[in-house]
Amino acid sequence: MPLRKGSSQSIVSSNIKTLVDEWKKDGTIGTSHPPTKRKAISQAVAIALARAGKSRNS
């Protein structure tokens, strides 16, 4: 499922959930293979925030 466009909190959260569900299903997020759920979530947050044009610190 493609990630949604936008920068609101609900869309960013939705994109994180989509990416983590993708990791649970086949063990990959995009072309990478995070070994643990913690690393998968961290990577999903980074991808979703980059897609929204935000940084973690703002």
Residues in the chain: 58
Domain ranges of the chain: 9-26+33-52
pTM here?
0.89
CA dihedral 35, 18, 26, 51 (to 10 degrees): -60
pLDDT tens per residue across span 2-50:
999 999 999 999 999 999 999 999 999 989 999 999 999 999 999 999 9
